[in-house]
Every structure is written in structure tokens, then in C-alpha cells.
Structure 1
Amino acid sequence: MNHDQKLGGHDARRWPALAVLLTGTLLPPLDFFIVNVALPAIRSDLQAPADVTQLVVSVYAMAYAVTLILGGRLGDIHGRRRAFVGGMLGFGLASAICGLAGSAGTLVAGRLLQGISAAVMAPQSLASIHALFPPAEKGRALGLYGATFGIAAVGGQLLGGWLVSVNVLDLGWRSVFLINLPVIALALPAALLLVRETRAAQARAMDYRGAALLAAGALALVVPLIEGRERGWPWWSLALMVASPMLLTAFWRYQRHLEDSGRSPLVPPSALTLSSGLPRGLLAAVCFYALAAFFLVFAVYQQAGLQHDALAAGLAILPLGVGQLLGPSCGLYLSRWLGARVAAFGMGMEALALLSAAGLAAAGKPGGLAVPLLLLGIGQGIALPALVRLNVDRVAPHWAGLAAGMVTAAMQMGAALSVALVGGVFFVLAPDGAGPQQVSTAFAVACVMIAIAMTAAALLSAPRPALASNALE
């Protein structure tokens, strides 16, 4: 399939292929968000303890984050279409396990497998966009890529609320997972037909030992943050947090050793030093995706604080979705005036919107949240594609899969950390049985925390004059 018909030196089927690739972009964040409004029904049906509320969300984000770089490299080495199809098959299997789960443990295990499969599937979309589209079309393709996250974020909330409320085929919350199966059944043959196989020109052996060290270091950080508070900070949680920096240091030293000896590391240190702005941009991505915690606390605020049902909670987030759909187009226009500063502009808008939402919630005026939510969505739609391009365009084309994995991994690690940290503070301030005022106060505090992270992301993503010309095309 490497000899597909070309048009003007480019793949003639790149736009239909993009529609298929964006399905793989849509499913992972959709399944992150769709469970938020279904969590009360899941807990009730499975008689699950309180910490499952965070664990069902965060174990998915955690598995996704720690496997993403490996997923990107698998596509570079073995072919991006092949990795895309394999990841989608695994995602379908995991969705079936979640939808048929008879216990909280089985559900969490299914979510773990979902996260790993999503990490193999998702980076192939961004890497393929980078490989298939010429520079003149790449901005438009990335704009559609960014809009897909908006559709996933809000569509997940709306779809989850509708499925739980309508109780399709008497499946209840299980339908939020089983609905993936018909989508995958349609997308798989389309991927085989339309998506051209691409891979890195200098693909070499996979660094599985490095992948294991990176996963162990990340898990040792995230797991205690998720489970430590609920379990009273046992000794093992503190031991893991101490071990995390040592494991990550060992990972980095091992990567340097492999590269110095002429072998192929998972994350080549030279790829990070090609532009001194890339590490800064990746840290911005970690802070930027703290917004993931907003969707969790907003769903709880709507249901426990304002006494709305699942469908009403899903509908309440609609202005944010409208904003995320409008944002990429606004970003393309603003980029003509702001250039590389457009990402920081969008994040600044998000920070102000979050502070406004916090003030309205604290004042007991939830009816005014529509405007801050709209601005929050527009800011997200502006910032996301701009931040992705700032990072991916800083590496050479043959590192496209690696860069895609690194950017998305950084964002998903930010999601896992924010769900653990912001969600932890939220549930301390609004435990089970908390009154509406407690929940509203907890929501306001969570919004302020996320706004601080977004401000940090804006400062980190703003280009420094000395580095403005360092991006590699």
C-alpha cells in the first residue's frame, strides 16, 4: 500500500484518510470524558467504593500517558497504519470488557487495557497528518484535529448523559462503552482502504527496556497521587513517590547510553536538544491539559451540587463544546497577527474563563456559567492545535511519531496528574454526602487550581525571541 495514487506529489486520498484517522483521534478522549456523567450510575450498580470515581477516570489517563511514546515509536518502526489498526482492535476488545464488567475491578482492568490500546492508536493520527499533508494544508488539517478534541470533550458528556438517561436497550451505563463497537466495525475497513502506510525512514529496533523504565517511573508517581489519599497514605505510596524520580533518572541515563552506543532509544536525547524550546513546550503541554480535571469536577458539581440529572449535566457543558468548535478557526485567523504567540493567547483566555466560573460558582450564580464556558472552549480550540504544532514542528520529519507521542503523552500525564491532584482536593472539600454549598465551593477552588496551571502553560508556551527561529521544518 506504499504505492497509492498521488496527486501533485501528495496522497490523493489524504482528506478521506484524515476522516478515518480522526476517528482514532476521537475515540480516546471521548472515552475519557464519556464516563464522567456515568460515574454515579457505575458506583451505584457495582456498589463500588468512593475512590473508584477517580480511579475509573485516572487509570485510563495514566495508562494512556505512560504508553504513548511507545505507541508513537511502534508506528514509526512497524508502520503507522498497522499500529492504528492494531490499536483500534485492542480498543474494541477493551470496550467490550468494560461494557460487560461485573465488578469494579474488572471495569478498572478494562479501562487499563483501553488506555494502552488508545496509546497505540492515537499517535498515528497526528504522525500521519505530519507525513501525508504538505505545509500549505497542514494548518487546516491540524485545525480539524484540534476541533475533534472539542467534539470528544463535549460529545462525550452529552452522549454519556443521554445514554444513561434513556437507558438504551436497558444497558444503563454499560452503553457508554459498548457504543464504541459499531464505530470501530466501520472504521477498521475504511482505514485499510484509505490510509496509506507510512513509517520513519530510519526505523530501528524498539527499546522495550526503556519503555518499561519510563512506565514504571510514571506509574510510581501517579498511582500514589490517586490512591494515597483514599488509603491514608500508607508506606508503599510514599515509597513509590520516592522511587519515581530515581526510575526516571535511570530511564534518561539508559537513553543516553543507547544513543551514545549507536542503538535506538525510545526517546533519543538528541531529539530533545535539536531545539532548546521543545522541553519547555512539553512542560507547557503538561500544565495545559490540567483542564481534563474540569470535566470531572463539573459533572459532579452539576449532579451533586445543582441536583441535575445526567442528561442535564451533559447539556450544561454544551457552550464549551460550541467554543471548542469555533476556536480552531479563530486560531487560524489570530495566527496571522500573533504568530507563535497564539497558543499563549488561547491559554490566557482559558485562565480568565476559569476564574470567572469560580467566581460565579462561589457566589451561587450557576446560571451565568454559559459565557465562561463558551470562552473556555474557544480558548481551548485556539490553544490546542497551536501548541501541538509548536512542539511537533520543532523536530525533523522522521521523528514525527516520536514527537506526536511525546506531545500527547505530556498532555495525558497532565490529565492524570490533574485528576489526581485537583480531583483529590475537590473530594476532600466535597466528600460523599456533602451539601450543595460545599460542592459549589469545591468546584470554585478546583477552577482556580486549573487556572493557575493554565497560566503557567501560557508563560511556558510563549516563544522567547532567541528561540523563535529554531523550529525545524
Structure 2
Amino acid sequence: MTTNTVQNPARLATASVYRYRWVALFVILSVEVMDLLDALVTNIAGPSIRLELGGSYSLIQWLGAAYTLAMAIGLLTGGRLGDIYGRRRMFLIGAAGFTLASLACGLAQSPTQLIVGRAVQGLFGAVMLPQGLGMIKQMFSASEQAKAFGAFGPVMGLSSVGGPILAGWLVDADYFDAGWRMIFFINLPLGLFAVFGAIRFLPEFKSDKAPRLDVLGVLLAAVGAFLLLYPLVQGRELDWPVWCFVLLAAGVIVFGLFAIYETGRERRRLDPLVTPSLFRKRAFSGGLAVGLVFFAALIGTGLVVTFYLQIGLGYAPLKAGLTTLPQALGTVAGFVAAGAGLAEKLGRKLLLIGTAVMIVATVGFALTVRLVGDGITPYHFIPATALLGVGMGLAMAPFFNIVLAGVDHEETGSASGALTSVQQLGGAFGIAVLGTIFFAILPGQVVSHVDGSTAELRTVLTTSGVPSDAQPAVIAGLRDCLRDRTAQDDPDVVPASCEGAGAPSPEIQAYGGAQVRAGFQDATVWTTGVTLVLLMLAFGLAFLLPKKARPEDAAAH
């Protein structure tokens, strides 16, 4: 139960309905847009960022992983901070911090500065976002809450459609010579609007009985997640030293200590970060597992597609963003169809149908990449990506309500926070694992294509004037060079095997470029196979979930 501690009582028309509630909703939606844009734009802008700041391809992985990991950890306690210190106050702190962190990201001069800025963005976003959702429930009457929450669907849909295109446009347009930095500077007017709008229009709400903050629980969860994530992202570049596996084992141990500590807090009647009794419920544990693998597949595959489009095919950021447009439009269509009554009518079946559609679409995407090959264009991707988006919308729409139907009402707050955190954590692990698999596969696929086209290469060498007796050495050297170039952690560094051979002829350069593109094509197809495994696992785990959402939950969303 909550009570209004409004800093300006004149703003309330009644004790239960807030006078400026619709304006306040607009303020809350503005920060949702900021968060959604920042979760999407770095995939498109990542290659351009790496080109300017330098560093290895893992920088692109960290741009997404640092944000989502920090968000995942922060969301475990973000809502409780509002209960303890007041939702309006924490919304202001979160919005102001997010805006300043966006400015710091836009001004970053090194990969480390940018990654730290992204992590700070995620932490302040986790403070900011839960407050808005809590205030909506208190500002609006029961009859209006469905309309208020219903506004999130179109806003999220428009943001998911416009985010990649906006990122590509801003990077390509290079306004004020800012290039990729504009994707962060665009947050400044939105953030200022949120801050001043919150000061003017948001009321203060605070719990009558504020829970105690579980600081040690937060630290254990953060350390455990970092210990698991860091070696997954950096292990390939470091050639998997022993300490990477030690960190992975330590991460598992830390999460074990976290579980023991949280159980002890519950026994002592203290407020745990995550209610341990939830994990004894099949529906909730199954929901966490589904969320982890589903969002790992979703977010990780998005990064792999960016690698393929921008690095493999050489697409400009705007062209890459437009290529993903059918998927975003399909997602909106899926959400609209689910909201038109399918979610309420079908419940868990809709989640299963959506996941099955995603599996079919993923197979279609892999076949398109494989069969069309080097002549592929953005138009070839439309059928598979649009279908993938529809499946995403159908599967995601009922997910949270169905999982929460398996927990008691008094556990809903803790369960919601844990589910949202797992969604972000799954995204971070998807980026780490699928990105690592992609670049681990890539050199071998390039070598395979060189070995399989030796006759073509001999013809190219003969055309370029290379004597037949010198061709075996040139072929071996080119093979090693292409392998080492694609295996190189930092693509700006020239491997030793590529030095000293002189400038290759245009024909040899064209041949080498074709083999690298073919390698990117195959690495994408193989990594998509991992995505298929994750989606099929999510499909199977979904049978652990309740068949229907609770009626009141379905009505609220």
C-alpha cells in the first residue's frame, strides 16, 4: 500500500486521480524512448564507433553488453529505491544521470571511456524506468490504467522501427562532424524534457513501509554476472587463458553464495533482493529459463546480423538500419495482433506459436544467406526478417503476464524485477556468446573457401602474371594472410603473414575480398544455427509456464 507525499498538493485533483496524469504519462514515455533507442542504436553504429576509437571487435560487443548487464543488475533494486526514497526523486536522479551519461558517451575519446559511459547509462536507466511504471499505477484510476499501459505498445513499436534507421541516418549524415556521437547527443533534449517535466508534473509517491535495501545482495549479483560475462567476451581474443575458466567457475560460485545469502535474509524476515521461494515455483523458474535463452537468441542474433551486414557486406549504417526495418515492422504487427485479443484467448499457446514462427523465420534467414550468396541485397532479407519480427511480437506480448500468473500476488513485485533483469541479462549473454562464436568460426570458414577455390585462384594468379612455379607459395601466403586477417582481434593491425608480399593486383584483391565475404556468410549461417538451438530450447521450456495469464494482469497490459 502506498501514500501520496506530493510536494505540491495543488497538483492533485482528487486523492485517487492525479490532475496532470496524462502529461505525466508523456514524461514517463519519453524516458522509455531514450532507453529503447539506446538499447538498439549501438548495434548499427558499433562498426563506425570502432573505426574512429580503435580497438578490437569486442568493443562492439561491450557497447551492448555493458549497458544491458548494468541495467540487469540495477533493475533488481531500482524499484525498491523508489519505495524507500520516493519515486519522483529517483525518477529525477535516474533521468538526470542517464542524460549526463549520454553526454559522456558522446564525448568519449577512448573505448574504455565509452564502455564505462554505457555501463553508467544502464545503471541510471535501471533507477529511472521502474519509477514511471509504479507511478502510473498510482496516478490513474483502475479503469484508466489499461489505456495508460496501452500507450507503451505504440511507443515501443515506433522506437523499435525508428531506432536503427535513426542511428544509421545520424551516423551517415555526420551532423556538426559528430558522426556516431549524435546517437548519444540526441538523448540530451529528451533527457532535459524528462527532467523538467518530472519537476513540474510528476507527483511524489512513497511506500508507507519502505523495504530495506539489500546492498550485499546487489553486490553479489553484480560480481557474479561480471565474472561470467567478462571471460565470455574477452576469452577468444586472449586465446582462452586458464584464468578465463577460473573466472567462469568463480561466477558460478558467487551466484551460489548469492542464493544462500538471500535464503538467509528471508529466514531472518529481512527483505531479500529476490524472494527465494519464487525459485521453488516451476512456473517462475521456467519463466526465468525461457527469458534467458529467448532474449539471448534475440539480442545476440541482432549483433551477428550487424557484423554480417556492415563488416561482411560493407553496408553503410543507414543501409544496415533500413535492412532491419521489415523485422521492426513485423514486431509491431505481432504486438498489435496479440493485443487485439490473441494474447487473452491463446495465452501460452501464443508464446509457443510466436517462438515457432521465429524458428521458421530463422531457418529462412539462414537459407537466404546461404543460397543467394554474394549477390544478396536488402530486398532478399524482407520475407525472413518480417516473419521473424511477427514471431517476436507474438511471443513477447504474453510472456511476462503468463510467467507472473504462476506466482502469488504478494510475490509479483520481486518476480517482475527478477524477470526484467533476466531479460537484460539474457541480452548481455547473447551478445557475449554469439559474438564470440561468430568470430571464432570466421577464420576457418575463410580458409575453407580459399581451399575450395584453388583452381579459381590459380587462374587469377596467371592473369596477374604470377609464374606457375611461384603460385603454390603465393596461394599458401594468401591463405595464411586471409586467415590471420579475419582472426585478428584488432582489424587495424596488419598480421605478420600479410607483410612483405607487396601490394596485390586488383584481381587478387577482388578474389581475397570475395573469400572474406563468403567466410562472413558461412559464419553467419553457423551462428544462426546456435540461435535455432536457443529458440528450440525456449520452445520446450515454455511448457513449464501457466496456460493463461491472470485476468487482472491480462487487462492491465
Query: Which one of the candidate residues 540, 544, 557 is aligned to 1:459?
Result: 540
Which amino acid in structure 2 is aligned with residue 243 of structure 1? Answer: A
Unmatched 5+ residue regions in structure 2? 444-484, 487-514
Report SS of the residue matched to 2:273: coil
**Quick one: structure 1 residues 8 and 335, their matched pair in 2 at CA, closer, same or farther if it must change by over 3 Å?**
farther
Whether the 8 Å contact between 1:124 and 1:401 is mirrored in structure 2 is no
Instruction: Describe how 1:226-265 pairs up with structure 2 within 5 A.
Output: 226-265=233-272
Question: Cα distance, 1:45 vs. partner?
Answer: 1.3
The structure 1 residue matched to 2:529, chosen from 448, 452, 458, is 448
1:407: how far off? 1.8
Q: Residues 87, 412 of structure 1: CA spacing in aligned structure 2 closer, same or farther, 3 A cutoff? A: same
CA, structure 1 residues 217+72, in 2 after alignment: closer, same or farther (shift >3 Å)?
same
The 3-state SS of whatever aligns with 2:239 is coil
1:300-379 maps to which residues of 2 (within 5 A)?
Answer: 300-332=307-339, 333-364=341-372, 365-366=376-377, 367-379=379-391
- 1:73 is matched with 80
Indicate how the Cα distance of structure 1 residues 121 and 136 shifts in structure 2: closer, same or farther if over 3 A, else same. same
Deviations 1:356-390 (A, max 9, x none): 11111111255331122122222222322311222
Moved more, 400-409 or 378-387: 400-409
Q: Is the counterpart of residue 427 in structure 1 residue 433 in structure 2?
A: no
Post-superposition Cα deviations, 1:122-181, rounded to whole Å, max 9, x if no partner, equal: 233444455555666555555543454443444221111101100011101111111111
The CA distance in 1 between the partners of 2:93 and 2:130, in whole Å, is 13
Query: AA paired with 2:427?
Result: A
Letter in 2 for 1:302: L
Shift of 1:5: 3.6
Amino acid at match of 1:377: G
Structure 2 residue corresponding to 1:383, chosen from 358, 378, 395: 395
1:145 aligns with 2:156: no
Distance in 2 (alpha carbons) for counterparts of 1:269 and 1:357: 40
> 1:131·1:400 contact (CA, 8 Å) conserved in 2?
no
Taking a change above 3 Å as real, the CA distance of residues 49 and 309 of structure 1, as seen in their structure-2 partners, is same
Q: 1:79 to 1:387 in 2, by over 3 A?
A: farther
Distance in 2 separating the partners of 1:282 and 1:142: 23
- Secondary structure of 2:347's partner? helix
Q: Which amino acid aligns with 1:320?
A: Q
Q: What's the offset of the Cα at 1:254?
A: 0.9
Alignment match, 1:267: 274
Post-superposition Cα deviations, 1:40-90, rounded to whole Å, max 9, x if no partner, equal: 221221122232222222222222222220222212322333222211111
CA shift for structure 1 position 286: 1.2
Determine the C-alpha separation between the residues in 1 that align with 2:363 and 2:137. Answer: 35
| Residues in 2 aligned to 1:393 and 1:138: alpha-carbon distance in whole angstroms | 19
CA spacing shift, 1:167–1:464, aligned 2, 3 Å: closer
Which one of 32, 53, 62 corresponds to residue 25 of structure 1? 32
Deviation at 1:408, TM superposition (A): 1.6
TM-score (norm 2): 0.77
Change (3 A) 1:469 1:34: closer
* Worse-matched range after superposition: 77-86 or 211-220: 77-86
Higher RCO (C-alpha 8 Å, min separation 6): 1
Q: Which has the larger radius of gyration?
A: 2
In 2, distance between residues paired with 1:143 and 1:452? 33
Instruction: Please say if residues 16 and 140 of structure 2, whose CA atoms lie closer than 8 Å, have aligned partners that are also in contact.
Output: no
Pair 1:286 & 2:292 matched: yes
Deviates more, 1:257-266 or 1:380-389: 380-389
Paired with 1:231 and 1:136, the residues of 2 have a C-alpha distance of 57
SS of residue in 1 equivalent to 2:43: coil
1:289 Cα deviation from its structure 2 partner: 1.0
Tell me how far 1:242 sits from its aligned partner. Answer: 0.7
Identity rate, percent:
33
Q: How many residues align?
A: 471
Shift in CA distance, 455/220, structure 1 to aligned 2, threshold 3 Å? same
Name the counterpart of 1:171.
178
Q: In 1, Cα distance between the equivalents of 2:243 and 2:342? A: 49
Q: How far is 1:445 from its partner?
A: 2.4
Q: Decide which of 294, 303, 307 is 1:296's aligned counterpart.
A: 303
- Asked if the contact 1:396–1:472 (Cα under 8 Å) also holds between the matched residues in 2, the reply is no
Contact 1:66 1:409 in 2 (8 A): yes
Distance 1:469 1:308 in 2: 43
160-169 or 191-200, which deviates more: 191-200
Q: Work out the CA distance in 1 between the residues paired with 2:350 and 2:232.
A: 33
Equivalent-residue separation in structure 2 for 1:327 and 1:108 (angstroms) = 33
CA contact (8 A) 1:76 1:402 kept: no
Distance in 2 (alpha carbons) for counterparts of 1:470 and 1:26: 28
Where does the alignment leave 5 or more consecutive residues of structure 1 unmatched?
A: none
Task: Indicate conservation of the 8 Å contact 2:47/2:311, yes or no.
Answer: no
Distance 1:141 1:372 in 2: 33
Work out the CA distance in 1 between the residues paired with 2:334 and 2:150.
9
Deviation of 1:317 (Å): 0.8
Which amino acid letter does the alignment assign opposite residue 351 of structure 1? I
Compared CA separation, residues 245 and 184, structure 1 to 2 (3 A)? same
| Counterpart for residue 122 of structure 1 | 129
Q: For structure 1, which segment, 200-209 or 99-108, has the greater mean C-alpha deviation from structure 2 after superposition?
A: 200-209
Give the match's secondary structure for 1:241.
Answer: helix
| Structure 2: distance between partners of 1:182 and 1:211 | 32
Q: Distance in 2 between matches of 1:190 and 1:129?
A: 15
Q: Cα RMSD over matched residues? A: 2.7
Q: Distance in 2 between matches of 1:174 and 1:80?
A: 31
Matched, 1:157 2:164: yes
State the secondary structure of the residue aligned to 1:245: helix
Q: Distance in 2 between matches of 1:447 and 1:142?
A: 34
- In 1, Cα distance between equivalents of 2:19 and 2:520: 53
TM-score (norm 1): 0.90
331 and 200 in structure 1: CA distance in 2 versus 1, 3 angstrom threshold: farther
Question: Which AA in structure 2 matches 1:372?
Answer: A
Displacement after TM superposition at 1:340 (Å): 3.8
Q: Secondary structure at the match of 1:204?
A: coil
**Cα drift, residue 338 of structure 1:** 0.8
CA distance in 2, matches of 1:225, 1:418: 10
Could you tell me which residue of structure 1 aligns to residue 97 of structure 2? 90
Report Cα offsets for 1:310-336 as digits up to 9, x if no partner: 111111111112122222220022124
Asked if 1 retains the 8 angstrom alpha-carbon contact of 2:16 and 2:138, the reply is no
